Amino acid sequence: MTVKFDFEDINLIAKKGIVKSRKECNTSVNLNGFTFKVPIIPGNMSAVIDEKLCVWLAKNNYFYVMHRFDIDQVKFVKMMHEQGLYASISIGVKNEDRILLAELKQLNMIPEFITIDIAHGHSNAMEEMIKFINNTFAKTKTKPFIIAGNVMTKEAVKDLEKWGTDAIKFGVGPGKACITKLKTGFGTGGWQLNALQDVASTATKPLIADGGIRCNGDIAKAIAFGATMIMAGSILAGYDESPGKIIKENGNEYKEYFGSASIFNKVEATNIEGKKILVPYKGSIAATYKEIEEDLQSAISYAGGKELSDLTKCDYVIVKGTINNGDDR
C-alpha cells in the first residue's frame, strides 16, 4: 500500500530557528556559474514570457528560459549579449533546430543556456539532440548549459544524465493549462510532488520541477522534495510584463494564459494537450518576485536553517492523500 500525494497534501514540519531575522536567509541558487536570487523560472511559454521580460529578469539576476515559438532566436541571443546579459533559449529536436545551433556557433553567438523543450523528453530524439549539442560546441571556448525535458521517471533521469544533459526539467502535465492526463492518460498531474521525490534520489544533476505550483509555499515544498529550481506558469502570468492584452470581464481584469501544446499556440490543430484560461491581472511582476523571496526566507527560517538546502532536511506530514493498493511501478 502506497499513499500518493501532491503539494496540497503536504505540510512541512518546523525546526528550531537559528536566525535573528528572516532576512539572513539566503534564497539564491547557482547554475552554470550564475547566481540567481530565487529558484523560480517563468514557464517558457509564449503566454508567460517574451523578450522584454527576459531582459528585466536577466538584469535583476533572475533566471529565465525564452520560449521557442515564432521568434528569431539568433536576433534574441544577439540582443541579450549586446546588453551584457546572458542568453537562455529553447529549442526542439527537429532539423531546423540543428541548423539554428550551427548558425549560432558560426556567428560565435553561443547562448549560455539551451533548453531542449519537448513534451516527451525520454526519447531517441532527445538523446540525439543532447549529443548533437555537445558535439557541436565541444571545441568552442564556452559550452552551453543544457537543460532537457520533460520527463517523469527515474529511468528517464538516468538516461538524460548519461546522454550528457546538465539539468533535467521534470514533470509531465501538472500545469493548470495542461490537459495531457485527460488527453493521453499519462502524466504527473495530481502527484507531481510525490513523483519529484521518487526521482530526486536518483538524480545527480539539477532537477527543475515544472508545473503544479499554485502558491509560494509550493516552491518551498518542491525544494524540500529535491528540486534545484522550479518552473511555474500560471502564478507568473497576468502581469504588466507578461505577454498579452488586459481583458475586462464582469468588471474584473484578466490576461490570457494557455499551454504550449494548446491550439492557441500551435500552428496546426494537431496533438492538442493544452487549453486556455484567464488569470487575474496582477500589476507589476517585481512585487511578486520580492514576495517570493521573502516567503522563501520565512520558509528557510521555519526549516531551522539559513540556506535553501536546509529545506531538504525538514520532516513532513501527509494531511491528505490517495491510497494506492495496486502495483507501484
Spatial contact of 211 and 173, defined as CB atoms under 8 Å apart: yes
C-alpha cell at 16: 528550531
How many CB atoms are located within 10 Å of the residue 188 CB? Answer: 28
Q: How many residues does the chain have?
A: 329
Q: Give residue 44's pLDDT.
A: 93
* Radius of gyration of the chain from its Cα atoms, rounded to whole angstroms: 19
All residue ranges of the chain with pLDDT < 70 are 1-3, 176-177, 258-277, 321-329
Q: What is the three-state SS of the chain?
A: CEEECCHHHEEECCCCCCCCCHHHCECCEEECCEEECCCEEECCCCCCCCHHHHHHHHHCCCCCCCCCCCCCHHHHHHHHHHCCCCCEEEECCCHHHHHHHHHHHHCCCCCCEEEEECCCCCCHHHHHHHHHHHHHCCCCCCCCEEEEEEECCHHHHHHHHHHCCCEEEECCCCCCCECHHHHHCCCCCCCHHHHHHHHHCCCCCCEEEECCCCCHHHHHHHHHCCCCEEEECHHHCCCCCCCCCEEEECCEEEEEEECCCCCCCCCCCCCCCECEEEEECCCCHHHHHHHHHHHHHHHHHHCCCCEHHHHHHCCEEECCCEEECCCCC
- Amino acid identity, residue 285? I
How many CB atoms are located within 10 Å of the residue 4 CB? Answer: 16
Spatial contact of 49 and 42, defined as CB atoms under 8 Å apart: yes
- Amino acid identity, residue 260? S
Class in CATH terms, 2-324:
alpha beta
C-alpha cell at 255: 490576461
Q: Give residue 325's pLDDT.
A: 47
Instruction: Give the start-to-end residue ranges of the domains of the chain.
Output: 2-324
Tell me how far apart the alpha carbons of residues 9 and 209 are, in angstroms, rounded to a whole number. Answer: 17
Q: Give residue 275's pLDDT.
A: 54
Phi, psi (degrees; rounded to nearest 5) at 212: 90, -5
pTM comes to: 0.89
- Give the residue numbers marked as catalytic: 178
Spatial contact of 226 and 31, defined as CB atoms under 8 Å apart: no
